[in-house]
Amino acid sequence: MNLTIKDTFNTELPADHLKENTRRQVMQACFSFVTPKSTSKPGIVHASKELARDLGLTENDLKSEEFKNIFTGNSILPDTNPYAMCYGGHQFGNWAGQLGDGRAINLFEVNHNNKQWALQLKGAGETPYSRTADGLAVLRSSIREYLCSEAMYHLGVPTTRALSLALTGDQVLRDVLYNGNPEYEKGAVVCRVAPTFLRFGNFEIFSARQDKKTLKTLSDYTIRHFFPHLKEGTKEGYLDFFREVTNSTLDMIIHWQRVGFVHGVMNTDNMSILGLTIDYGPYGWLEGYEEGWTPNTTDRQYKRYRYGNQINIGLWNLYQLANALFPLIEDAKPLEAILKEYLENYATKYLSMMKSKIGLFKPDGNDPELLARLESNLQLTETDMTIFFRNLSHIAKDSPTNDNFLAPVWDAFYVQEEVKGHILEKWKLWFTDYKSRLQKESISDGERAEKMNKVNPKYVLRNYMAQLAIDGADKGDHTLINEFFQLLKHPYQEQSTAEKWFAKRPEWARHKVGCSMLSCSS
């Protein structure tokens, strides 16, 4: 492998002075040097050729013993120094203190075509930040992360990427539902890729410890490498940095809402400083459109991270980042002004996004009310989000609202017998008003459908699909991993051989573990 290694994080930032890999509080350091754990029988299950090319790797590299050994943690590339990052975070609204890379080990940074990438193994063994855990990951969660990272990228959602998925040959003990029934599962490792894996929590930990020196060093490093157009080392630069993080976080969440993605664990240690979707744990895709849905069993009672609350949690998390950066700025008012902009920009951007989903492009003061009624109607009965919005493009602006008016979106209703009486009347009224509104648009039905189909995916990684891939892989069959990987490269395109995946969640998956609710267990 001929990679251009250009490490910055572990050469420009302060390191943990202790070298032994023991659980501890790490002070005045941004990271600890760590060696990945060797595995008994490593094997690559799948690798992304496209991402490999972006890093400067060839297809032959992906088939090599060297690739297998490095990206399963069994060997280290010469002249590199793997490390785990130190950070803190608010978990479910409460300060959790030091957290850090408990099962992630950063291998090195690569520079290719003037782009900088950090490569990280998830599940490669314990670190000083593993607390009581083993630092390992299982095949189940690793498949979900690998497939979803790349699926989100092709959906146009800001995200970390995934280069490879590998089996370790080892067994890992996990309690899937935290109900006292642990079982052994296949161990696995994913190589994650991003310009940086810095999170809100990297800044919070130093502010919480009143370590202004390290906070400033980290902030200056971040601006220098990832926001080079800003003024490093100045209050103005720190404020501009916060504004850019605020804007990119908002854009990311708007994209989540657009495609029906629910992160599930929006703790501040899971919030990327670049506005990337990071840490694919108990995420889920809305199947029945429900603003109150969360995929996380840990969040079942309070639903803090439910679909309809993600935008508010984004703001709450940004408040914590503002508090963390305050020692460098020492003025709350400009920070508060940026946070206020978030809410103002949200109203505008969310409206624009939702209008694009239903094919409205000209300004109209009645659009917010039309969209609010739509979101209310979608929750009258269980209605598949992906199918509804994709098939809405089949509606013609001059089609009559007769007895068959719901035909284009009929497949989206899970219990079609319930769409009657007052529910049917509400839909009839909405479609009547929607078609009247379409009359104000100057583009043709065909042009509108084309635009809608660019923002409303036909294929997403539905929870049951991921579970089918997991069930197959548990038996040694990786066919569906590859099938879904290829399918989700083109989520907005018609794929005649894949129509069976453009369908409602099957009834058997409604309450099946892995298809409806998931835990943070990996």
- Return the biggest CA–CA distance within the chain: 74
Q: Tell me if residue 7 is catalytic.
A: no
Question: Residue 184: how many CB atoms within 10 A of its CB?
Answer: 11
The answer to whether the beta carbons of residues 72 and 168 sit under 8 Å apart is: yes
18 φ, ψ (degrees, to nearest 5): -85, 140
Q: Quickly list DSSP for 313-347.
A: HHHHHHHHHHHHHHHHH--HHHHHHHHHHHHHHHH
- Nearest CA among 361, 354, 359 for reference residue 392: 359
Catalytic: which of 101, 269, 279, 299? 269
Q: For every residue of 249-268, which 3-state class applies, written as one string? A: HHHHHHHHHHHCEECCCCCH
DSSP helix/strand/coil, 292: coil
Stated as kind and residue range, the H or E segment containing 164 is strand 161-174
The answer to whether the beta carbons of residues 89 and 199 sit under 8 Å apart is: yes
- Judged on CB neighbours under 10 Å (0-12, 13-18, 19+), 443 is middle
Residue found under tokens 């890999």: 21
Active site residues: 269
